[in-house]
Structure 1
Amino acid sequence: MSARYRILLGGAVQGVGFRPFVYRTATSLNLKGFVANTSAGLAIEIEGEERRLRHFLDRLKRQKPPIARVDRQTVESIPATGDTTFAIDRSQTSDDHRALVLPDLAMCRACRDELFEIGNRRYRYPFTSCMHCGPRYSIVTGLPYDRERTTMVDFPMCGDCSAEFHDPDDRRFHAQPIACPTCGPSLWAVDGEGAFLANGNEALRIGVDALRKGRILALKGLGGFQLICRADLPATVTRLREGKRRPTKPLALMCRDVHQASEICRVSPSAREALESWRAPILLLPKRSIASLRVAAEVAPTSSRLGVMLPNTPLHHLLLTDMGMPLVVTSGNVSDEPLCYQNREILSRLTGVADVFLLHDRRIANPVDDSVVIVDNDHDMVLRRARGYTPMPLPGPEGLDGLAFGGDLKNAGAVVRHGEIFLLPHQGDMAGSENQALFQANLDRFEMFATKPKALALHDCHPDYHTTRMAQSFGVLCLPLQHHRAHAMACLADNELEPPVLAVVWDGAGYGDDGTIWGGEFFHVSSKSIERVAHLRHFPLPGGDKAALEPRRAALGLLHECLGDDAFEIVGLKPLAAFDGDALAVLRSMLWRRIRCPITSSIGRLFDAVSALCGLCMINGHEGMAASLLESKVAGDGGCRPYAFTLVCDGGRPFVLDWEPMLLGILEDLTQGMPVSEIAARFHVTLAVMVLRVAETIGIERVLLSGGCFQNATLCRLIRDQLEPAGFRVFGHRRVPPNDGGLAYGQAWLAARQGGGSCV
């Protein structure tokens, strides 16, 4: 006797080959019925012998496609209908938009083999894909996920592609982005004036020839345009920097394969796995010795690491194979502007930057930049969450319906619905109307699978943030949330932990409860409160925000707090020599009178100050440059002795970490001519011992590390080296960035904890 089940699946079940998997499984068990995409996920009705139905359910659980993720499953018995076949049915639409859109998938090995197989009909075709790889989020325009709701609707399938699409034994069975040279997108090249040069493989040849001659190529990639040049030509890299207005910030590299990446960087087994994964992120890897580099120093002049990725699309595979050398591949935009992703805008925005443009006619519906990851202690830590990660949701608090605006730097907002948090793609600095418009556009795009929340707008406590004003204009109840507590909650949720924990939150700046600039904070997170239990001793920042741009100012503030006016009489101190006499006199007066000198507890500004004292960085060319230069000087395993410091406990909580003994020790070492590498190592070790001292004083076993300072892999390693032998367990970030790219995620969890009210 036949039975029939209705099975509803929610999660990442579209665009992963789930319908073909269900079809093959059902037909192999001689079961009847249908499977269909819905706006909420996947619907299956399956009919046959009870024993076979149980086998089907078991295989559904154990053998589902590897990229699929089932978050919800319901099974109910319904009356049998006597179906005689099993079919992939037409998709079903509804108002329940809970189906997940898959991130874009890097090219699989099978498609790569076809790409270079002479005689294959997709030989050197730059837009080939299958059920296991290719564009997803970047091309989708609606749900359920079908070709007519992607930008591939512009390309009707030819007979050969249609035959593959409908063949259950073909790996392109129901692969929505299926294409070939006959019916799919095409490539062409234009010069800097927009004049047509060539199409197809000849266009690619022109692009390769331009690169070989040291010219700059603008290429339309998966989620937007990229600027590309040879990595071994200093003059070309410098010209690219000038065009992008990006003087010092490291540029990313693309290597042909892991072997090529291993020639310029140290690649651990875990790093190799991350590079070759379907996410294919930019991975920050330690540089090899200068002698072995095939990369100009101008690519990453301020860092001991290189950002490396492997080709993620057929077009990139063709380009890197033809070139045979690592290439600089960076986002196609001028610094502080949104990513270019439409053909019509590229010439107006990048003319004068690129010499040759490689364009194609597959529309990008949802622009997305490259993700950045670092492998720390054999687990991945996402520093920028974008391609390969977005728009997959993360677990969120139940019952919260809202939009989290994040912060003003490294911005990535979040939609919070149905117990899930959808982080918007990395956006960057929120200054400027174009970037704010992009935030709104990203939010509108996310409505296709996460209806725009109407209940609550979550934002930082800082009254002057652009995101604060945006939230206040959103037309719903606004909830301000304290910056560093949001970081703490982001790390707690990222590790799926419950209180109590000690959260160490170190960054450059955040608006504190008392109106000062926080950034060197320790919180005891309990089930009832998030108490600030310790912080770095305050020091003034002459010029306020200007001190974040000029580490030499942070150094003067630190010195004056410790030594008063005598700080200006120290002979040979590099931050003093970095100002002319008049400017120094003005700063001296400002510090003495405490005019325009906000105080801070920021570890980020402490890094800046020490970097300037060591003569490494007086003016930041990009955010975090001074700290990165200081980290790059640390060599060895950090087994040096720490500087002295004091944990002041006599006034009750919060305790104060007094850095004055450390500063005096650094000044003494500078006077004695100690190498900067040793000073940098001692400084990093001292910070790690500070964390140990507070942890021992507070007495909580689990310690969380959050905030932008913990992008510093050396600092994270040294803290673990100090704490773990002492019996503490240390947790860093994993899926969510420790920097402000994870702030919106923490805001959602903090808001759920607060349940309404004023800034916490």
Structure 2
Amino acid sequence: MRVTRAFTVHGTVQGVGFRPFVHRLAGGLGLSGWVANVDGHVEGQVTGPADAVAEFGHRMYTDAPPLARVREVALRELDGAAPIGRRSGAVGSAARHDTAAGARAETTLDAPAGDALFSVRRSGPGSRPTTDQREVPADAAICDACLRELFTPENRRHRYPFVNCTDCGPRATIIEDLPYDRVRTTMRRFPLCADCAAEYADPRDRRFHAEPVACPACGPTLAWGDLRGEQALKAAAGAVATGRIIAVKGLGGYQLVCDATDPEAVAELRRRKRRPVKPFAVMVGDVRVADGLARLNSTELALLTSPARPVVLLRARRVHSQAAPHIAPAVHPAPTLSPGPHDHSPALPPVTDRLGLFLPTTGLHHLLLHELDRPLVVTSGNLADEPIAIDDAEARRALDGVADGFLTHDRPIRARYDDSVVTSAGRLPLTVRRARGLAPAPLSLNPPTPVPLAGAGAQTKHTFTLADAGVAHVGPHHGDLADTATYEAFGQAYADLCRLAGIVPRAIAHDLHPGYLSTRWALEQPLPHIAVQHHHAHVAACAAEHGVRGQFVGVAYDGLGLGDDGTLWGGEVFVADLTRHRRVGRFATAPLPGGEAAVRHPCRMALGHVFGAEPLGSPPLERAARAFLERLDRRRAQVVRAMVAHEVNCPRASSAGRLFDTVASLLGLADTVSYEGEAAVALEAAAGLAGRDRPVPLKHRVVRVGSLWVYDSAATLGDLLERQADGESVPRLAAAFHSSLAAATAELVARAVEDGAPRTVCLGGGCFANVQLLTQVRRRLRAHGLRVLVGRQVPVGDGGISYGQAAVAAARLAEERRGTARKGR
């Protein structure tokens, strides 16, 4: 029996070669009909034997292109019968519209499909108005087939930097509007030549309906001053080879590039970029080179070679000759310090034992690496704290004093996307920064939000989230909202993604802190506002990603966030669900002398603990800290002592992140920092030098204070200072601190569970980007028989706050709606 069915496919199905795939699938099954991009989804009609049509619907899930993410397929009879649907578990949200018939096509390309005729139509609006979400595909790194063409002399795209096909190339960074067609991308400026047009129209070609398709005859062109094409590439490579720094126009913005094996070039880039210590990412030509610089397990290899091509934080090999030492320089003591007589430590370890490596993203990157045959520093094209440059004129203005030359091209960048950063804890992948290649691909949101909403995010490592129904779109990474340019970039990205995703928020969630620019922005929006406590958002992000229903124990460790009581938190244990939280444990408090100054100067934080640790029964620290105090500038130490004694500009905080700063300073690793987390990273690196030598953990105490269990960190610090005075090495003490903090965490959670808390534990906050801490905490909690979860796709740090805010807001709104419905009965 022959039947005709209309079909609708929801998910990430535009810009990923889905229509060509549907055409090939229909051809193989002998079906006729058509397919088109419509609004944010794919629609079509298919006719043929009933069993073949059923197989067609099934295989749209099982055989979808590698970059596609099918959320739902609905088939319906054209006489108006109810749709016959299957839903994928990948995202888990039901689509809200079944209509599939009647899409108006701008152009129809008919081609044989087996013995039938099947049309791939260019996109148009649906048969009736729709409010569907539209899922914006992320950029994808050059695929193997295009890479072979790039280096095949006989191929017409030989050495063409912008080679791409349906399986790779720019997407989110060039899309101007949806539905996704070339005319709605920045590629509309480049009319197809006859050869590219033939590939585009040929169902047998992998460039069939590849919207960014281009070649040297019709596509973008490289430029270096007055030079074009191959000459421009050679000139840029020559500049790098002679020790110069160049700005390269990448997929999501400009990148600064220099020779990673040239210490002088790397040091000069640090000076010009005003980035004295923070490690640089290094691009290498292939996995073989990466393996020579760092140790890779199977999880890390999979991350490194994935289509997202993120920067992967890997364990650096101790001895290698291919990367300059300035990639991750040693931490140097602050000018206020001098070596003390009790310093028995070896030479200071590197600022991190992790090396950020990534493989080439584009044909241009491959060509540069092929020309130079050495690892390259490839870092964001900006100055410290500014957004990455995407406009050509803007880039020349911002980077004029940094780059010695500009390798650019004439394809505009529509959206700003920095490089994604990931790492792993053993076999567990973790997202540190969700950006190019990952964002804005949708994530599931459970429970679904009853109204469209936005999460405004935090102040640092900023992202925003748009959510509707059961889907959340986490926007691009913006860095810290520290200046006007970054704030404006956030506003523009928010407006663009709202338009592209088809989401008009009707509520907005934000942090409690009134000083955050994201909070101020949210309160200026003419929408209902939902305040979400910072650390609740951290653990809610983890719970929502894993679909946790009901209550859980949330462990939130980070730098600082405003607590419910108006004080600064950062080492918290909750019993929570997605709507509310109850604090059951915390770290002991200590003053932050000078407020923000204590964040920039960990030695101040250490003095805060020495002079003002919360009195919980442990001996005072000042006597044990004599050697530490002797190596400080005496006058400055006395000023801080007076500030603490008189409580002058010394807000107290229960912060895990600030405790890491304190220990790093006490051990002489970092007394002044140039970026958030620097001291903690140095401490983790030092612990790594202990190797297989597992020292005895430092002492820890957990005491009851009112209704809370409190970790008395003074006991840990006192033991650290005594063992340091006895001559124990910095690496052993750093490792012992990590072990003691994991033991204290396990005890805090165990006490909460004994008091009736759930046995599922969600970890959140930037401290859990520390692989040593995360690994030991998970191991200890699992030893207690607990289920332990941590974010994988959502960043554990502040980059995941906006998703957590959206999850909490969705749960609260859903609860309100249920309550209203019950009252109405």
Give the Cα–Cα distance (whole angstroms) in 1 for the partners of residues 641 and 236 of structure 2: 55
- Indicate how the Cα distance of structure 1 residues 483 and 741 shifts in structure 2: closer, same or farther if over 3 A, else same: same
Contact 1:444 1:452 survives alignment (8 Å): no
Q: Secondary structure at the match of 1:557?
A: helix
TM-score (norm 1): 0.95
Structure 2 match to 1:159:
194
Q: SS of the counterpart of 1:91?
A: strand
Distance in structure 2 (CA, Å) of the matches to 1:715 and 1:570: 26
Pick one of 357, 366, 388 that aligns with 1:339: 388
Match of 2:789 in 1: 731
Offset of residue 723 of structure 1: 2.4
Structure 2 residue corresponding to 1:611, chosen from 660, 664, 669: 664
Question: Which residue of the other structure, out of 487, 499, 521, is the alignment partner of 2:572?
Answer: 521
Structure 2 letter corresponding to 1:142: D
1:91 has 2:91 as partner: no
Cα shift at 1:473? 1.1
Matching of residue 113 in structure 1 with residue 141 in structure 2: no
Distance 1:592 1:314 in 2: 61
SS, match of residue 122 in structure 1: coil
Distance in structure 2 (CA, Å) of the matches to 1:526 and 1:419: 18
Q: Which amino acid aligns with 2:769?
A: Q
SS at match of 2:270: helix
The answer (yes or no) to whether the contact 1:417–1:453 under 8 Å persists in 2 is no
Q: Is the 8 A contact 2:4 2:45 kept in 1?
A: yes
CA distance in 2, matches of 1:233, 1:575: 39
Contact between 1:141 and 1:365, CA under 8 Å: does it hold in 2? yes
On the 8 A contact 2:419/2:435 being kept in 1, the answer is yes
The answer to whether the aligner puts 1:417 opposite 2:465 as a matched pair is no
Q: 3-state SS of the aligned residue for 2:122?
A: coil
Q: Note the C-alpha offset of 1:361.
A: 0.5
For residues 71 and 480 of structure 1, the distance between their equivalents in structure 2, rounded to whole angstroms, comes to 31
Cα gap change, 1:645 to 1:538, in 2 (>3 Å): same
SS of residue paired to 1:399: strand
Which whole-Å CA distance do the structure 2 matches of 1:5 and 1:274 have between them?
40
Cα distance in 1 for residues equivalent to 2:138 and 2:620: 58
Measure how far apart 1:451 and its partner are. Answer: 3.3
Answering whether residue 283 of structure 2 is matched by residue 254 of structure 1, we say yes
- Matched with 1:710 is 768
SS in 2 for 1:262: helix
CA-CA distance at 1:637 after TM superposition:
4.5
1:372 aligns with 2:421: yes
Instruction: Determine the structure 1 residue equivalent to 2:731.
Output: 677
Q: Is the 8 A contact 2:591 2:613 kept in 1?
A: no
Q: Which residue of 2 aligns with 1:659?
A: 713
What is the root-mean-square deviation in Å for CA atoms of aligned residues?
Answer: 2.0
| Residue 460 in structure 1 maps to residue 515 in structure 2 | no
**Residue 74 of structure 2 is aligned to residue 16 of structure 1:** no
Instruction: State the partner residue of 1:620.
Output: 673
In the alignment, the residues of structure 2 paired with residue 317 and residue 148 of structure 1 have an alpha-carbon distance, to the nearest angstrom, of 28
Summarize deviations over 1:157-207 as a string: whole Å, max 9, x none: 0001011111111111111111000000000102xxxxx2x1111111111
1:54-98 Cα offsets, whole Å, 9 max, x none, are: 2222322321212211112221111599x9621112312255352
Distance in 1 (CA, whole Å) between partners of 2:463 and 2:389 is 18
- Say whether the 8 Å CA contact 2:453–2:466 is kept in structure 1: yes
Helix, strand or coil at the partner of 1:612: helix
Residues 94-243 of structure 1 aligned to structure 2 (within 5 Å): 94=126, 95-190=130-225, 196=226, 198-243=227-272
Q: Tell me by how many angstroms 1:568 deviates.
A: 5.9
How many Å separate the matches in 1 of 2:208 and 2:808? 44
Once the two structures are TM-superposed, the CA of residue 457 in structure 1 deviates from its matched residue by: 1.9
CA distance 1:497–1:594, change in 2 (3 Å): same
Given that 1:128 and 1:179 are in contact with CA atoms closer than 8 Å, whether structure 2 keeps it comes out as yes
The answer to whether 1:719 aligns with 2:777 is yes
SS at match of 1:718: helix
Whether contact under 8 Å (2:246, 2:407) holds in the other structure is yes
Question: How does 1:553-592 map onto structure 2 within 5 Å?
Answer: 553-562=604-613, 573-574=627-628, 577-579=631-633, 581-592=634-645
Structure 2 gaps, min length 5: 81-100, 102-109, 111-115, 330-350, 817-825
Cα deviation, 1:484-516, whole Å, max 9, x if unaligned, reads: 011110011122222332111000000011111
Aligned-partner Cα distance in 2 for 1:59–1:529: 42
How far apart are the structure 2 equivalents of 1:222 and 1:659? 46
Unaligned stretches of 5+ in structure 1? 191-195
Structure 1 pair 36–528 and aligned structure 2 pair: CA distance change class (3 A): closer
Kindly provide the amino acid, as one letter, of the partner of residue 683 in structure 1. Answer: F
Q: Give 1:404 shift.
A: 1.1
CA drift at 1:533: 0.6
1:131-162: per-residue Cα shift (whole Å, max 9, x none)? Answer: 11101111111111011001110000000101
Residue 10 of structure 2 aligns to a residue whose secondary structure is strand
Summarize the alignment of residues 353-368 of structure 1 with structure 2, pairs less than 5 Å apart.
353-368=402-417
- Range 702-711 or range 71-80, more displaced: 71-80
What SS does the aligned partner of 2:460 have?
coil
Cα pair 1:458 1:747 within 8 Å, conserved: yes
Distance 1:68 1:243, change over 3 A: same
Q: Which one is further off, 65-74 or 33-42?
A: 65-74
Q: Choose from 748, 752, 760 the match for 2:806.
A: 748
CA–CA distance in structure 1, aligned partners of residues 562 and 655 of structure 2: 11
Summarize deviations over 1:628-667 as a string: whole Å, max 9, x none.
1111011224733222222112x44211111122111011
Q: Quick one: distance in 2 between partners of 1:589 and 1:90?
A: 72
Instruction: Give 2:784's aligned amino acid.
Output: A
2:56 pairs with 1:56? yes
- For the structure 1 residues 610 and 280, does the alpha-carbon distance in structure 2 shift closer, same or farther, using more than 3 Å as the test? same
Q: Which residue pairs with 1:42 in the alignment? A: 42
Classify 1:614/1:321 alpha carbon distance in 2 versus 1 (closer, same or farther; 3 Å). same
Separation in 2 of the partners of 1:516 and 1:140?
44
Q: Judging changes above 3 Å, is the alpha-carbon distance between structure 1 residues 563 and 739 closer, same or farther for their aligned structure 2 residues?
A: closer
> How far apart are the structure 1 equivalents of 2:189 and 2:62?
37
SS in 2 for 1:449: helix
Q: Percent same amino acid among aligned pairs?
A: 39
Name which of structure 1's ranges 638-647 and 690-699 shifts more when overlaid on structure 2.
638-647
2: CA distance between counterparts of 1:410 and 1:105? Answer: 23
Q: Which residue of 1 aligns with 2:524?
A: 473
> Can you list the C-alpha shifts for 1:518-552, whole angstroms capped at 9, x where unaligned?
00000112587421110001111111111011100
Aligned-partner Cα distance in 2 for 1:134–1:390: 15
Q: What is the match of residue 493 of structure 1?
A: 544
Residues 1:643 and 2:698 are matched in the alignment: yes
Distance in 2, Cα, partners of 1:465 & 1:143: 33
For 2:777 and 2:693, the matched residues in 1 are separated by: 11
Question: Would you say 1:439 and 2:467 are equivalent positions?
Answer: no
Q: Would you say the 8 A contact 2:578–2:807 is kept in 1?
A: no
Question: Which secondary structure state, in structure 2, belongs to the residue aligned with residue 488 of structure 1?
Answer: helix
Distance, in Å, in 2 between the alignment partners of 1:487 and 1:15 is 32
Asked whether the 8 Å contact 1:647–1:657 carries over to 2, the reply is yes
Q: Would the aligned equivalents of 1:263 and 1:293 in 2 still touch at CA under 8 Å?
A: no
1:716: how far off? 0.7
Task: Return the alpha-carbon distance in structure 2 between the equivalents of residues 687 and 412 of structure 1.
Answer: 29
**Given residue 324 of structure 2, which amino acid in structure 1 is its aligned partner?**
A
- Whole-Å Cα distance in 1 between the matches of residues 63 and 752 of structure 2? 47
Indicate the residue corresponding to 1:193 in structure 2.
Answer: none
Q: 1 CA distance for matches of 2:811 and 2:49?
A: 49
Contact 1:555–1:575 under 8 Å retained in 2:
no
State whether residues 390 and 416 of structure 2, in contact with CA within 8 Å, keep that contact through their aligned partners in structure 1: yes
**Number of residues of Structure 1 aligned to a counterpart in Structure 2:** 748
